């Protein structure tokens, strides 16, 4: 759960979500400018369990988006540049950049296609498995062909995705990630069927494979893998205020070396919207995924999120999650034990809409990981840490 100050292209753009157009019109297109500036206090900038070092951080993110729209064709592309300055600690690279493209075309009334491309050179936390700041270069490319009925009661989509990822680590505790490269390819077939006014059934099948380079540092060991998964689910809106979605399936991962994984998967989410300005969601998800430093991990994920908009210009949001990560039975620790992590993340924020295109924000973030993993270089319990962050800033998107 990273800071929400950075605008991510079409996501969370001021004014757009409430139907207020922004940007400079250029014929059939629009040019948007973006700027995020945030000042933060970080209680543990080096993610240390033994000797936390606090720091103050300045983040400046300028960017630009270009939207082009025709009857059958839509294009959104954008670029972000990030300047980050830790005043006291040398954590990771201070500069980052992102480039994004999404293009869609209606081949006919029932057939659409979409292509996506996203390049990112950053040191923001990657995911729940790696909540530390870690330099990485990623390139995600995808293509999708979708068939749907005129009323969207039935759709069938075929998707392909390819991801290149390379890590660069400055912290000694994360040295086994340095120069690690992975390439993942996936093919996905999914379908949705609306059989009642407020019910949608879904089914998904996916095949994927992940290949790593040979730059490995013991005791970390990655093996090339391939896997297949299947899931089926139901999304039901019971009343105007209450909705539930659930799915169940299985996944199997086969590796060139070490243990394989075959597991049931599933999730359930509940939505409560007592009024248009207030929404609460909670849920549980169980999944098995390829790990970046062993074969796989099983993830038990619980979340609780809420949003409330009041007094027309104020909005508050809360996001909390707990993950228990159980790693594959390989000798990852010096004492022969298997790694297991408990990760707690929380975010509480308040936003004031100064204008439709300008928001003032303040946020508090909590990151906590309790792990039995040790650093093979120092023998310390380096994987555990506790971090508090307070962010104050401004987001502009016009």
Out of 164-168, 220-224, 240-244, the most confident range is 240-244
Q: Of 45-49, 253-257, 310-314, 352-356, which gets the smallest average pLDDT?
A: 45-49
Instruction: Report the percentage of the chain scoring pLDDT > 70.
Output: 86
Residues 6+ apart with CB under 8 A from 282: 269, 270, 302, 303, 304, 305
For residue 104, give the CATH number of its domain: 2.40.160
The secondary structure of 172-213 as a DSSP string is GGGGGGTT-EEEEEEEEEEEEEEEETTEEEEEEEEEEEEEE-
Per the model's pLDDT, the better-predicted residue between 46 and 362 turns out to be: 362
| pLDDT given for residue 331 in this prediction | 57
**Looking at the predicted structure, is the pLDDT value of residue 126 above 70?**
no
- 163 falls within a domain: yes
Domains in the chain: how many in total?
1
Whole-structure pTM value: 0.87
**Looking at the predicted structure, is the pLDDT value of residue 146 above 80?**
yes
368 neighbors 387 (Cβ within 8 angstroms): yes
- 11 falls within a domain: no
What's the token pair of residue 207?
């095949």
**Looking at the predicted structure, is the pLDDT value of residue 307 above 90?**
yes
- 100 falls within a domain: yes
pLDDT confidence bin for 176, thresholds 50/70/90: low
Determine the Cα–Cα distance for residues 327 and 74; give it in Å rounded to an integer: 42
Check residue 87 and give left, alpha or beta (phi > 0: left; psi -120 to 50: alpha): alpha
Determine the Cα–Cα distance for residues 262 and 226; give it in Å rounded to an integer: 12
- 6 falls within a domain: no
- 2 falls within a domain: no
Which range of residues forms the domain containing residue 374? 24-397
* Cα dist from 96 to 37, 124, 138, 365, 397, whole Å: 14, 9, 12, 21, 19
Q: Which contiguous run of DSSP H or E holds residue 362?
A: strand 358-371
pLDDT confidence bin for 178, thresholds 50/70/90: confident
| pLDDT given for residue 105 in this prediction | 96
Q: What is the mean pLDDT of the chain?
A: 86
pLDDT confidence bin for 306, thresholds 50/70/90: very high
pLDDT confidence bin for 214, thresholds 50/70/90: low
């Amino acid at each position: 759960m990273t800071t929400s100050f950075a605008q991510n292209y079409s996501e969370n753009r001021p004014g757009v979500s409430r139907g207020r157009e922004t940007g400079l019109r250029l014929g059939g297109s629009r040019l948007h400018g973006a700027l995020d500036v945030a000042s933060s206090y970080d209680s543990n900038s080096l993610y240390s369990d033994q000797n936390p070092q606090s720091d103050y951080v300045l983040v400046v993110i300028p960017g630009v988006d270009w939207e082009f729209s025709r009857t059958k064709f839509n294009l959104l592309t954008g670029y972000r540049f990030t300047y980050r300055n830790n005043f006291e600690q040398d954590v990771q690279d201070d500069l980052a950049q992102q480039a994004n493209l999404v293009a869609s075309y209606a081949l006919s009334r029932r057939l659409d296609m979409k292509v996506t491309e996203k390049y990112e050179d950053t040191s923001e936390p990657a995911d729940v498995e790696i909540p530390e700041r870690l330099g990485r270069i990623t390139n995600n490319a995808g293509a999708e062909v979708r068939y749907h009925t005129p009323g969207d009661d039935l759709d069938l989509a075929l998707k392909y995705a390819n991801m290149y990822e390379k890590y660069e680590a400055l912290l000694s505790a994360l040295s086994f990630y340095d120069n690690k490269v992975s390439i993942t390819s996936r093919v996905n077939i999914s379908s949705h069927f609306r059989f009642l006014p407020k019910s949608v059934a879904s089914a998904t099948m996916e095949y994927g494979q992940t290949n790593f380079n040979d730059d490995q540092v013991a005791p970390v060991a990655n093996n090339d893998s391939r896997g297949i998964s299947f899931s089926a689910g139901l999304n039901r809106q019971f009343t105007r205020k209450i909705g539930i979605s659930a799915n169940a399936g299985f996944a199997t991962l086969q590796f060139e070396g070490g243990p394989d994984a075959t597991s049931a998967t599933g999730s359930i989410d509940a939505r409560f919207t007592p009024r248009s300005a207030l929404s609460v969601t909670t849920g549980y998800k169980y999944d098995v995924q390829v790990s970046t430093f062993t074969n796989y991990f099983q993830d038990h994920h619980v979340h609780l999120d809420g949003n409330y908009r009041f007094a027309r210009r104020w909005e508050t949001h809360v996001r909390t999650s707990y993950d228990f990560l159980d790693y594959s039975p390989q000798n990852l620790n010096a004492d022969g034990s298997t790694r297991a992590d408990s990760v707690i993340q929380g975010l509480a924020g308040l936003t004031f809409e100064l204008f439709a295109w300008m928001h003032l924000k303040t946020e508090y973030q909590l990151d906590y990981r309790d792990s039995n993993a040790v650093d093979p270089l120092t023998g310390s319990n380096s994987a555990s840490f506790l971090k508090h962050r307070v962010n104050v800033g401004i987001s502009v998107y016009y």
